[in-house]
């Protein structure tokens, strides 16, 4: 028993170490895999187009769907780079506004925010608050070529994957069993990515118009941040609301605009998160809320913000895989929402 426990412990440590060391390779691949799922769903939608859908081959629809989505990605990246450049130029002015706000609070209430922060975390710099976020976005852009490459090879693999399975599994029963598992993973992951993307787009667009109305600088950048943070369960909406609210505070130097952003963008998050998302997503994930939080913490600890974004899709795939084997099915039941797998 002790030897078996020690073996499991060594395996777990080895897997975690492999995930940390392999981050530069694994993260672009998983992002590429998720984008592949999104393109496949978009291709399926295009094929269902009346009159035109059946007239073009599947490969042509794949190329068309890929061109459309990657063109949108390219435009988004260029706009974001311009907004990040503008934001970088405005940060010194924000820091001056923050100093003025701190002086006003100190004069009115006798509290020096900077001194309090220095007591806990050393010198305060605004750029330090944004650096983890900007570094994550920079890593995402830097890995863009590898992600595109992975997506390309996934589509090439798609054309021969069925034939490979037939060579590996000679028994028709076993082949059908493996194919069913793969289809479950495809459907669950594709449904999650597609629906979550649509919900995040709704939230991001609504927030963009709200920020534009209030007059917050670089609203496109903050709307994209809200869109991206919406993939992070539970805390993502909070982070997505808090950052533009703080920027409004720094930009205008008053609590009115801070409250406006916090109230309006927060209301959008509440409406989408509590009314629209449950109706659209339903219980399709079959994940325990506690497991979602633990997965968020685990993947965030080893892969940072990117790990938080990927935590739910990875966990969904794990549950589906665990449910297919007798030895790991109890684990899948524990990870599921109601113990049914």
Q: Whole-number mean pLDDT of the chain?
A: 80
Torsions phi, psi for 9 (to 5 deg): -65, -45
- pLDDT category of residue 268 using cuts at 50, 70 and 90: very high
d(CA 175, CA 15): 28
What is the domain partition of the chain in residue ranges?
A: 83-335
**DSSP structure class, residue 276:** I
pLDDT score, position 128: 58
Which position has the token pair 């710099």?
A: 125
User: What predicted TM-score, i.e. pTM, was given to this entire model?
Assistant: 0.78
More confident residue, 87 or 196: 196
pLDDT score, position 213: 92
- pLDDT category of residue 203 using cuts at 50, 70 and 90: very high
SS (H, E, C) 95-144: HHHHHHHHHHHHHHHCCCHHHHHHHHHCCCCHHHHHHHHHHHHHHHHHCH
Is the pLDDT at 114 greater than 60? The verdict is no
Is the pLDDT at 341 greater than 70? The verdict is no
pLDDT score, position 111: 61
30-44, 135-149, 187-201, 309-323: least confident range: 135-149
Best CA proximity match to 305, nearest among 239, 246, 208: 239
Is the pLDDT at 110 greater than 80? The verdict is no
Q: What is the per-residue pLDDT across 292-317, written as a single tens digit (0 to 9) for each?
A: 888 888 998 888 878 888 888 888 88
Is the pLDDT at 122 greater than 60? The verdict is no
Cα dihedral 219, 225, 231, 233 sign: negative
Q: What is the per-residue pLDDT across 205-238, written as a single tens digit (0 to 9) for each?
A: 999 999 999 999 889 989 988 998 888 877 888 8
- Tokens in use for 65? 């769907």
CA 226 and chain centroid, separation: 10
Q: What is the DSSP string of 14-66?
A: HHHHHHHHTHHHHHHHHHHHHHHHHHHHHHHHHHTSTTTTTTS-HHHHHHHHH
pLDDT score, position 207: 94
pLDDT score, position 323: 81
- pLDDT category of residue 109 using cuts at 50, 70 and 90: low
pLDDT score, position 217: 87
d(CA 184, CA 323): 11
Is the pLDDT at 340 greater than 80? The verdict is no
- pLDDT category of residue 121 using cuts at 50, 70 and 90: very low
């Amino acid at each position: 028993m002790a030897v078996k426990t020690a073996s499991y412990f060594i395996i777990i440590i080895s897997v975690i170490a492999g995930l940390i060391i392999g981050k530069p390779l694994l993260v672009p691949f998983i992002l590429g895999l998720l984008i592949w799922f999104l393109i496949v769903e978009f291709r399926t939608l295009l094929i269902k187009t009346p009159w035109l859908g059946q007239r073009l081959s599947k490969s042509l629809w794949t190329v068309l769907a890929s061109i459309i989505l990657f063109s949108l990605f390219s435009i988004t990246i260029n706009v974001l780079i311009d907004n990040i450049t503008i934001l970088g130029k405005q940060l010194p002015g924000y820091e001056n506004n923050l100093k003025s706000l701190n002086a006003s609070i100190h004069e009115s209430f006798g509290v020096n925010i900077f001194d309090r922060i220095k007591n806990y975390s050393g010198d305060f710099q605004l750029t330090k608050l944004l650096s983890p976020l900007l570094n994550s976005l920079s890593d995402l852009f830097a890995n863009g070529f590898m992600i595109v490459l992975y997506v390309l090879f996934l589509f090439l693999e798609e054309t021969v994957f069925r034939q490979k399975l037939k060579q590996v599994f000679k028994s028709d029963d076993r082949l059908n069993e493996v194919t069913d598992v793969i289809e479950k993973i495809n459907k669950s992951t594709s449904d999650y990515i597609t629906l979550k993307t649509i919900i995040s787009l709704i939230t991001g667009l609504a927030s963009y118009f709200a920020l534009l109305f209030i007059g917050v600088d670089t609203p496109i950048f903050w709307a994209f941040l809200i869109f991206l943070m919406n993939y992070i369960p539970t805390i993502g909406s909070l982070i997505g609301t808090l950052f533009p609210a703080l920027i409004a505070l720094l930009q205008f130097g008053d609590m009115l605009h801070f409250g406006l952003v916090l109230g309006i963008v927060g209301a959008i998050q509440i409406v989408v998160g509590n009314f629209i998302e449950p109706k659209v997503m339903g219980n399709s994930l079959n994940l325990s809320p506690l497991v979602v939080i633990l997965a968020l913490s685990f993947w965030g600890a080893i892969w940072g913000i990117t790990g938080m974004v990927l935590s739910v899709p990875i966990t969904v795939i794990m549950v589906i895989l665990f449910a297919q084997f007798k030895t790991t099915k109890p684990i899948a039941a524990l990870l599921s929402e109601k113990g049914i797998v």
